[in-house]
Structure 1
Amino acid sequence: MKALITGIAGFVGSTLALRLLRDGYDVVGVDSLTDYYDTTLKEKNLELLDSGRRGSRLTVLRADLRDLDLRELLVDIDYVFHQAGQPGVRKSWGRDFSFYIESNIDVTQQLLEAARTAPRLKRLVYASSSSVYGDAETYPTSETLRPQPRSPYGVTKLAAEHLCVLYAANFGVPTVSLRYFTVYGPRQRPDMAFTRFLRAIKDDRPITLFGDGEQIRDFTFVDDIVDANIRAAESASLENGAVLNVCGGSSVSVNEVLGIMRDVSGRDVLIDRYEAVAGDVRRTGGDSHQIRQFLGWSPRVQLEEGIARQWAWVLESDG
């Protein structure tokens, strides 16, 4: 089997690639290595992939998807894992919004157009986000509730998700959208909370915390996210256009997370508190009933174990 991973140099993309290579897949990866964060970290992810590949089963294209012949790229692809996109709630306001439109909506639409005629394609898995829910009407939040994103980033993720549903309904493109709930784990992006927090603890620096810390998040370990992607891709019975939550079931406050980090590290946690940021929601928490029912998926890594594994990675890493 042959898989295409967009955004292969990123956090989830590189972790997914390692798993697929280990499982015997041939993998083609595309990444433009944008400078949203230090590109040397992405280069390290690619080096890790290269060192772990077997034979010639890994091909990496350093390119913008919009500059490639996507129809040609998909000719011999069985599974597409569309992880690429512009992340970040806070940066999506103002002038940067146009880049979010290009990276999260336009690229997805072009990929879906190419997928219409891909002869071997069995599944296109789109990486959506719990940001589409905004301040949800109820918790735990099910896929049937009305999305109401609170940030431009969330708007673009929802728009791309709608495109996946439309191409499935109108052209039979075998899409599935996975709504990730706060992914964490080794090689997490440096701008994301757990990496920022743990590196500050390592360096005996104060943690920068926006808001009062009582905001609640549903944290999901990256290996569980990868497992959900592969199950979604390989499922022959999943309805085209399906939308599924992928959530760790560990809805806890940020203050509780800091307590776990203190216990795991055995160090004091210093905090500098700032006002909450526009677009950040007060709470997330997903209902995982549908993904359990259709894919037999459930999270395996509990929050304490996952934070311990990310702490070990922070201690070993240079960044």
Structure 2
Amino acid sequence: MTSIVTGAAGFIGRALTSALLASGSPVVAIDRLAVEERPGLTVLTADLLDLEPGAFSGADAVYHLAGCAGVRDTDPGIAWRRHRDNVLAGARVLALTPPGVPLLITSSSSVYGGASHGRPSAESDPVRPIGGYATSKAALERLCLDRPDVTIVRPFTVAGEGQRPDMALSIWLRAAQEGRPLRMLGSLDRTRDVTDVRQAARAMIELIGAPGIVNLGTGRGHTLRAMAEAVATVTGACLTFDVVPAPPDEPGDSLADTRRLHSLLGWTPRTDLLDLVRRQQLLTCSPP
């Protein structure tokens, strides 16, 4: 089976591509950024909006991970980039994927607007997107209504080696390595459902072909304090904190209801926070 992965140069895209290749599946990697060539991998450096009709005709499965990431991005023009890369590019992927070819599209847990009263967010909950990023992902999901066979995955906080440098654990690892305070938004008691990127990739491979919306998380919340303590353990740093107000589009807590995920997979991701942070440190920080 030949799998197409869009956004293959991204954080989760790289992990998914590696997992597919390890399983013996040939992969076509599509990204505007360069992707390292490997056996079994065909690289197409292109913008999704520039692809011609028929570009996906040889695919047996399509994983759409490309998009404009960054919940907190406030750079000029970010609203247009989110619409272009999350909504218009998603519409193009839907149009390019032939009927009957399994298609998995990655949305985001941010469409929930955070866990409500500490209750896990379930796929049947109404979406309450806060901010431009979450709104663009909700719009992407609406595009899929005409393709009920599409798998829509809502990943919760995914972390591990290769995580984007603007994500919390990456920022904290660099700060700890440099002896700077860890910048915390809102409170050390806020929680995140942290999913290991390796397990996220495995789950996506097993989920494709299952129609509808599926949360991708662990069902367990880690406080920011616990995540920071893992950074301290791994780096050996004595941590101090700079706690600042959280922006209005920052969810207070996140927690996945994983019942549908478990019913489809027969297992639920589990995150070893210390192992995850150790692996991430290898790529985030230079040796002391």
SS of corresponding position for 2:114: coil
Q: 1:200 aligns with which of 161, 164, 175?
A: 175
Which residue identity is paired with 2:131? S
Report the Cα distance in structure 2 between the residues aligned to 1:218 and 1:317, rounded to whole angstroms.
29
Q: 1:134 aligns with which of 110, 113, 119?
A: 113
Report the Cα distance in structure 2 between the residues aligned to 1:126 and 1:297, rounded to whole angstroms.
21
SS of corresponding position for 2:54: helix
Q: Does residue 153 in structure 1 map to residue 102 in structure 2? A: no
Q: 2:102 aligns with which of 120, 123, 131?
A: 123
Q: Does residue 103 in structure 1 map to residue 73 in structure 2? A: no
Report the Cα distance in structure 1 between the residues aligned to 2:28 and 2:113, rounded to whole angstroms.
34
Q: 1:113 aligns with which of 92, 95, 110?
A: 95
Distance 1:317 1:124, change over 3 A: farther
Q: 2:264 aligns with which of 288, 291, 294?
A: 294
5+ long unaligned stretches in structure 2: none
CA contact (8 A) 2:69 2:133 kept: yes
CA contact (8 A) 1:220 1:249 kept: no
For 2:233, the equivalent position in structure 1 comes to 263
> Cα distance, 1:102 vs. partner?
0.9
Report the Cα distance in structure 2 between the residues aligned to 1:76 and 1:179, rounded to whole angstroms.
27
SS of corresponding position for 2:106: strand
SS of corresponding position for 2:81: helix
Report the Cα distance in structure 1 between the residues aligned to 2:248 and 2:142, rounded to whole angstroms.
24
For 1:163, the equivalent position in structure 2 comes to 143
CA contact (8 A) 1:136 1:147 kept: no
For 2:69, the equivalent position in structure 1 comes to 87
CA contact (8 A) 2:6 2:13 kept: yes
Per-residue deviation, residues 148-201 of structure 1 (Å, max 9, x unmatched): 01111001111111212x1224xxxx3101110000000000001111111221
Which residue identity is paired with 1:13? G
Report the Cα distance in structure 1 between the residues aligned to 2:114 and 2:12, rounded to whole angstroms.
25
Report the Cα distance in structure 2 between the residues aligned to 1:251 and 1:307, rounded to whole angstroms.
16
SS of corresponding position for 1:150: coil
Q: Does residue 181 in structure 1 map to residue 186 in structure 2? A: no
Report the Cα distance in structure 1 between the residues aligned to 2:225 and 2:60, rounded to whole angstroms.
43
CA contact (8 A) 2:190 2:252 kept: yes
Per-residue deviation, residues 7-35 of structure 1 (Å, max 9, x unmatched): 110100011111111111111111113xx
CA contact (8 A) 2:220 2:256 kept: no
Report the Cα distance in structure 1 between the residues aligned to 2:76 and 2:231, rounded to whole angstroms.
34
CA contact (8 A) 1:3 1:79 kept: yes
SS of corresponding position for 2:137: helix
> Cα distance, 1:303 vs. partner?
2.1
> Cα distance, 1:94 vs. partner?
7.0
Report the Cα distance in structure 2 between the residues aligned to 1:6 and 1:213, rounded to whole angstroms.
35
Normalised to the residue count of structure 2, the TM-score between the two structures is: 0.93
Normalised to the residue count of structure 1, the TM-score between the two structures is: 0.84
Which residue identity is paired with 1:191? D
Which residue identity is paired with 2:107? S
SS of corresponding position for 1:88: coil
Report the Cα distance in structure 2 between the residues aligned to 1:152 and 1:94, rounded to whole angstroms.
13
Per-residue deviation, residues 207-229 of structure 1 (Å, max 9, x unmatched): 22222222211111101110111
CA contact (8 A) 1:221 1:248 kept: no
Q: Does residue 308 in structure 1 map to residue 278 in structure 2? A: yes
Report the Cα distance in structure 2 between the residues aligned to 1:145 and 1:93, rounded to whole angstroms.
31
Report the Cα distance in structure 2 between the residues aligned to 1:204 and 1:58, rounded to whole angstroms.
41
5+ long unaligned stretches in structure 1: 34-42
SS of corresponding position for 2:147: helix
SS of corresponding position for 1:73: coil
SS of corresponding position for 1:12: helix
Report the Cα distance in structure 2 between the residues aligned to 1:155 and 1:14, rounded to whole angstroms.
25
For 1:37, the equivalent position in structure 2 comes to none
Report the Cα distance in structure 1 between the residues aligned to 2:200 and 2:23, rounded to whole angstroms.
16
> Cα distance, 1:316 vs. partner?
5.6
Greater helix proportion: 1
Distance 1:317 1:162, change over 3 A: farther
CA contact (8 A) 2:120 2:219 kept: no
Which residue identity is paired with 2:179? D
CA contact (8 A) 1:264 1:307 kept: yes
Report the Cα distance in structure 2 between the residues aligned to 1:4 and 1:102, rounded to whole angstroms.
20
Per-residue deviation, residues 275-319 of structure 1 (Å, max 9, x unmatched): 21220010110110001102223114322322222223434689x
